Amino acid sequence: MSDVKNPQVLMETSMGKVKIELFMDKAPITVKNFLSYVNEGFYDGLIFHRVIKDFMIQGGGFDAEMVQKKPRFAIKNEAGNGLLNQRGTLAMARTAVVDSATCQFFINVVDNAFLNHRGKRPDEFGYAVFGQVIEGMEVMDSIRQVKTGNKGGHSDVPVEPVTITSIKTVQE
């Protein structure tokens, strides 16, 4: 355990509030990137655009009309940090390219061992966990139950938008 206190954020959604601890000690690049988006209000008004009941809830990239918000640069994948994609953890979404994560993130609603770092090859690299829900997991469990369908060329989109009202850092 390090002496550095990990930052926390409060994510207010249209379905409730979720408090998240960010693992600055294990994923410094990812946490700094996420907090830069948080501090500029990037996520405010975006939706959870991909909800798969027994997998994860993804957000941070699209508005309710499925218009993608332009992210900044991609960051280095920190999946090899020892953190696992377990229920309640936050990880960065990315393409098949290892170092392609920008602003989109997901919350694992079940243990997803197949997303963990297993090696250096692109198909083994995994998804970087950088945070953990510490309060409000019941909100995530409510979101994972919503009805989904297809919208704007995407599948698993909530029929009724689930909005991220705001994400703000919490001062302890």
Determine the number of helices (DSSP H) and then strands (DSSP E) in the chain. 2, 10
Distance CA 18, CA 164 (A): 10
pLDDT of residue 132: 98
On whether residue 35 sits in a domain, the answer given is yes
- Cβ(89)–Cβ(57) below 8 Å: no
Share of the chain above pLDDT 90, in %: 95
C-alpha torsion 98→99→104→106, nearest 10: 40
Coil vs helix vs strand at 151: strand
Q: Is 2 domain-assigned?
A: no
Residue 3 has pLDDT above 60, yes or no: no
pLDDT (average), residues 128-147: 98
The CA-CA-CA angle for residues 60, 68, 28, to 5°, reads 35
80 domain residue, yes or no: yes
The predicted structure's pLDDT at residue 7: 97
Pick the closest to residue 88 from 125, 48, 135, 35 (CA basis): 135
Domain of 54, in residue numbers: 8-170
Is the pLDDT score of 125 beyond 50?
yes
pLDDT band at 5 (very low <50, low <70, confident <90, very high): confident
Mean per-residue pLDDT for 132-139?
98
- Split at pLDDT 50, 70, 90, the class of 94 is very high
CA distance 26 to 18: 21
Reply yes or no on whether the pLDDT at 30 is more than 90: yes
Give the CATH number, domain containing residue 93. Answer: 2.40.100.10
User: Could you give the CA distance from residue 34 to residue 106 in angstroms, rounded to a whole number?
Assistant: 12
145 located within any domain = yes
Q: How many domains does the chain have?
A: 1
- With cut-offs at 50, 70 and 90, classify the pLDDT of residue 1: very low
43-69 pLDDT, tens digit per residue, is 999 999 999 999 999 999 999 999 999
pTM of the model: 0.95
Flag whether 3 is in a domain.
no
Q: What is the mean pLDDT of residues 128-135?
A: 98
Position 1 in a domain: no
pLDDT band of 171, cuts 50, 70, 90: confident
In a domain, 48, yes or no: yes
Phi/psi class of residue 15: alpha, beta or left (left: φ > 0; alpha: ψ in -120 to 50)? alpha
